[in-house]
A and B are shown apart, each in its own frame.
Chain A
Amino acid sequence: MDTPATDPMCPCVVRVRRRRRDGPGVWTLELEAHPDAPNGFEAGQFNMVTAFGVGEVPISFSGDPAHPERIVHTIRAVGPVSSALTRLGPGASLAIRGPLGTGWPMGEAPGRDVVLVAGGLGLAPLRPAIYRLLAERARYGHITLLYGTRSPKDILFRRELYAWRKRGDIAVEVTVDHAVEPWHGHVGVVTGLIGPARFDPRRTLALVCGPEIMMRFAAEALAAAGLAHEAIYLSLERNMKCGNGLCGHCQLGGHLICRDGPVLRYDGLREALRVREL
């Protein structure tokens, strides 16, 4: 008989262990591990998550890959499914299929500087990569997190950002699109943080996640700073349904984002991202 571990189309029912508000309309759900579910995930991968009676959506893992027993998803209430998921409290049931898709290229990071550029909720899929980098901090050069969001009240994982900055071995810069007093941090677009950031473009790996328009500008700004297109990875979002490259809903050029992505290298994406409505 197929189980969630052998058949990626087979969901397993899990319960919410904890629920925490991480911003306006943004909730982080920690789920109880299921004995039949695949064990472990790679930073950057996602689950298809079902709200019963409403639907299924792809949600990236936002927890620590070193603790696969804690399945963590950070969700913003946007549509009917994500809104239903964010309303689930401790003990409530939902279903997951996964882990699915490609992860961040963590194997390419040792010995290099790493720049993570996050926009809005895009910080959530990057958080597992940050956990991994910090867990093996000595293996990497400079690590820089550049995070842009809408306004100070929209800052995600605020306490963690503060804690990371306090460590001193990762540069954390946060900018907002607009602010009212008493915000004393950066104001402006996240691409404006790339120029002043400290990294050697010849040996830097860049991981970018956020709204697609922001990622296009960020990738171009990274390239302008001297990074090769091959050193820039983006996490894309499309209309995913099956999660296994079967249905074709998430096609982008020659890629099926659910199977070949969501993490893809910029040199293979650049042209497709310029095509309208693709």
Chain B
Amino acid sequence: MQGIEQIITEHSFFAGIDPAYTHLISSCAKNTRFDPGQYLLQQGARAEQFYLLRHGRVVLELSGPGRGTVTFQTLGPGELVGVSWLIPPYRWTYDAKALELVRAIAVDALCLRTKSEADHDLGYELMKRFMPVLVQRLHGARLQLLDVYGAHG
């Protein structure tokens, strides 16, 4: 069975990261699994961890009165779930639900924020890895918002 440190090293989100940082991150991490339909995180709850997906797919969704539940993104192996732990007030803004059996690494947010405060190089390394994901998702959200496949598309 692979150790947490090895799994993190091999996860595409942390590809090529300095082994010293892997050691720090893995000290905040643990293996976890979710059955189909189980929530990884729920809107409004405290953002206490994020997940590195290893197996299975996760849907990100929002529910609203009269609209039911709308899925706006699916994520799979090699991707990460949860970015709201990075900025105050550290609350999830949407739900993330396992679409099938999900295996993931859960990383404790407070633990990692504390280590990043103590070691800004680690914080900067994390920022360089989270920013492209955030920008990519922002671009995607804009395209979805533009409704390019609508009648005017």
Contacts and interface: CB of A to CB of B under 8 A. Distances in A.
Interface of A: 25, 76, 78, 119-121, 148-150, 154, 175, 177-181, 183-189, 191-192, 196, 210-211, 213-214, 217
B153 interface: yes
A150 B146 contact: no
Contacts of A181: 68-69, 71
A78 B153 CA distance: 10
A150 B150 contact: yes
Contact of B149 (A148, A183, A217): A148
Contacts of B143: 177, 189, 191, 213-214, 217
Band of interface residues on B: 20 to 34
B144 A189 contact: yes
A217 B147 CA distance: 14
A189 B140 contact: yes
15 contacts: A150-B150, A154-B149, A178-B70, A180-B69, A180-B71, A186-B74, A187-B72, A187-B74, A189-B140, A191-B143, A210-B149, A210-B153, A211-B148, A211-B149, A214-B148
B59 interface: yes
Given A177-B147, A180-B71, A187-B74, A120 B153 contact: yes
A213 B148 CA distance: 7
A180 B147 CA distance: 16
Contacts of B68: 180-181
Contacts of B107: none
**Which 3 A/B pairs are nearest by Cβ-Cβ distance?**
A120-B149, A211-B153, A211-B148
Identify the interface centre among A175, A184, A188: most chain B CB within 10 Å of its CB.
A188
Contact of B148 (A119, A184, A186): A119
A185 B148 CA distance: 20
Contact of A150 (B60, B73, B99, B149): B149
B30 interface: no
A25 B144 contact: no
A217 B139 contact: yes
B76 interface: yes
Contacts of B78: 196
Given A150-B149, A180-B70, A187-B73, 17 more contacts: A76-B151, A78-B152, A148-B149, A150-B147, A177-B144, A179-B70, A179-B71, A180-B68, A181-B71, A187-B60, A187-B72, A189-B140, A189-B144, A191-B140, A191-B143, A192-B136, A211-B149
Given A148-B149, A150-B149, A188 B139 contact: no
Contact of B144 (A178, A184, A211): A178
A67 B67 CA distance: 45
Interface string B56-97: 000110000000111111101010000000000000000000
Nearest to A120: B149
